[in-house]
Structure 1
Amino acid sequence: MLTLFKLLGNKRLFFLLMGLILFIAVMGFTLGPRAGLSWPEKFTKDTVGFVQYIVYKPVSYITGFFEDIANLRSLQKENEELKIALAHYTRDKARYNSIEQDNERYSNLLKFTDEQKARNKDYEYRIAQVISVSNDPDNRSLVINLGSQNGIKNGMAVTSDKGLVGTVSHVSNFTSTVKLLTTLDPKDPNSNAIAATVQGNENKSFGMIESFDSDKGMFLMTKIKSDDPLKEGDTIISSGLGGEFPRFMVIGKVVSRQKGSYGLTDTAYIEPATEFSDWNELFVVITPEVPQ
């Protein structure tokens, strides 16, 4: 019995020594210089690589999916911020354009009033806002925001920065009605003809603007003498005769001239200087002849 235990003990010691020797040999073989891997190492590496592929590939997909979601949320937030910025830019650009147009318009109005003051220092131009416009073909008129409280009276001339518009026909405390020149009619006893002349030839030219041809969109100037120097392209202004309209108010340009009905005087078609539409501001002309 004792001999058997000794034998088994010697075998265990033997296997242990053989295992240790084999382990040292494998370690020496592995760590030593060699051209390639052994088949156990290849098998181990391939196994580990396959396991990594099986495990890490889905993990990388899942990780990438959540990263894409995070990027998508970030992109959506950025797009919302860009949309808000674009809306602000559009609003600010529209506001800037409106302010720029207002500044340009006010600059033109100031230039107009300065020119009129230099031409005739006795006239005062009071700026008025247009409240409403009547498109009634039989009684075209508009309403401005100046009335008797502002010194406005019936018969005062109203002009834009381009040309004569009409005359004040009715006045209330805070508003006034302006009758447009497009309503001129020699058959109407309440229609006042305009004594007109050619700018630059005020002492040589004369005529009367009594009517407006709605089909042609032009004034008809009559009573022009045959030796009058009036010609196409001339600027027609009010002469101030008769006292109904102040002097030097621009009316329009001569488009054509022809003989009158009886051949004694000529007539001319005058294209209005103003378009009689889309007004924002107008001027009421205050003259010394009109009591304040």
Structure 2
Amino acid sequence: TGQFRPNKVKYLSAFREDSWFKSLFVRKVDPRKDAHSHLLAKKEDNNLYKIQFHNVKPECLDAYNKLCEDVLPSIHADSEYPCELVGTWNTWYGEQDQAVHLWRYRGGYPALTEVMNKLRQNKAFMDYRNERGKMLLSRRNQLLREFSFWNEPVPRPGPNIYELRSYQLRPGTMIEWGNYWARAIEIRQQNHEAVGGFFSQIGNLYTVHHLWAYKDLQSREDTRNAAWQREGWDEVVYYTVPLIQHMESRIMIPMKTSPLK
């Protein structure tokens, strides 16, 4: 034991020095020149995302799911609404009796405003919202932008399970997080598990959501373990963990009408 401890300290010190040296060659984003959202988000589009968390009364979950399946796809399919339902799920592991919905608004805040105004005139939606209110214990939402280095989430066949990993970062560290994950996502794309990466604009600030897809829980375990065998993953973990104040993982099952199956 007396010999192991100095060797371990020496290894960690060398690893930190080597990783720091490598980081000098990573293209850094200067946070002083623009807002974080402009530096981190995609330039070629103006997509805005909304994520909704609905905590449902346990006895109402089946009725709630049926209500969503009857109404939400019609909004998604109607060209009058500049929005798309990216995915809709029930939480399997994490908070129980919870539904999670992810919407995309093509056109940013003006598109969001247009959809909200039109929905107020939509009787079917207003009836849905009133009925939904009777089934919920609580609800919250966030407005998000997508990271420039993640793929845009697109419909995929199933069956899959989805993991939503949510990170509350220390204020002022979003640029640093983005710099490391711009490299890390290349490591985690090899099994096509990466679905989408987002950061908050309104709601809980300095929040990051990473969305992953796996065939099952064992596939998730195997894929995550395999990442440690790829060069650079240990460095990303080593430098990003200190940026996190709190993290949470949800395993989610798609609802019947979810575009992400």
Which TM-score band applies after superposition, normalised by the shorter structure? under 0.3
Q: TM-score, normalised to structure 2's length? A: 0.22
Structure 1 or 2, whichever has the larger Rg, is: 1
- Which protein, 1 or 2, shows the higher relative CO under an 8 Å CA cutoff with sep ≥ 6? 2
TM-score (norm 1): 0.21
